[in-house]
Amino acid sequence: MSQPKIKRRVGKYEVGRTIGEGTFAKVKFARNSETGEPVALKILDKEKVLKHKMAEQIKREIATMKLITHPNVVRIYEVMGSKTKIYIVLEFVTGGELFDKIVNHGRMREDEARRYFQQLINAVDYCHSRGVYHRDLKPENLLLDAYGNLKVSDFGLSALSQQVREDGLLHTTCGTPNYAAPEVLNDRGYDGATADLWSCGVILFVLLAGYLPFDDCNVMNLYKKVSIS
């Protein structure tokens, strides 16, 4: 006789199937056992993300993200930790990724792109005004809800895998080169707000053109194309 399946639990959440896997995190479907509400559970390996010691700034940003609600930002409900893992409980977004639309249907009409871009800029402006930067805006962070509204995910979280050095500027060696600003790629330290806006510009280009403004299969050549633009 087969045993009844016992669901894994994290805090008050019953953990279900894996939704996807990113560079640093696994995302699983979960359900709040008290309310029945579905959530997305982002699971990060502590060892990987805390290699460089979690800066105070990042802790502050996560604390801030828990307080903010914006229609175009994926909500962070809570953050939990075990000995080896960090669990981030997020609003569950059902409409998939914005860029799947481009991949499947090509570039957008101007009025459609305008609507998404306005939602993106509203989200970015809101978070910046509260001292939270994204630093890694890219297609997989742009989700759509059931009504076709844009929801930016990972605000204030991407820095988990990055470093803040003593000069107060951010340094990174990861991220998506196609969407990253020149100063991010050159690792000279950068300002989170202007780096985010560069990425927004690249996103707008892709929405309207259906292809990347800077692209090369060779990463060194791609860096050059971004840097001399």
> Which one of the spans 49-57, 87-95, 127-135, 180-188 is the region binding ligand 3AM (CB under 6 A)?
87-95
**Torsion-angle region of 132 (φ positive above 0: left; ψ -120 to 50: alpha; else: beta):** beta
Residues 145-174 interacting with ligand 3AM (rule: CB under 6 A) = 153
Set 111, 125, 136, 154: catalytic member = 136
Instruction: Tell me the residue ranges of DSSP E strands in the chain.
Output: 8-10, 13-21, 25-32, 38-45, 76-81, 85-91, 142-144, 150-152, 163-164, 170-171
Contacts to ligand 3AM from residues 5-24, by CB under 6 A: 19-22
Segment contacting ligand 3AM (CB under 6 A): 5-13, 89-97, 162-170, 187-195? 89-97
Indicate the residue among 150 and 164 with the shorter CB distance to ligand 3AM.
Answer: 150
Nearer to ligand 3AM, 74 or 127 (CB): 74
Residues in the chain: 229
92 is an interface residue for ligand 3AM by CB under 6 A: yes
Token digits of residue 116: 């998404």
Q: Residues with catalytic annotation?
A: 136
Interface residue list for ligand 3AM (CB under 6 A): 19-22, 27, 40, 74, 90-93, 97, 140, 143, 153
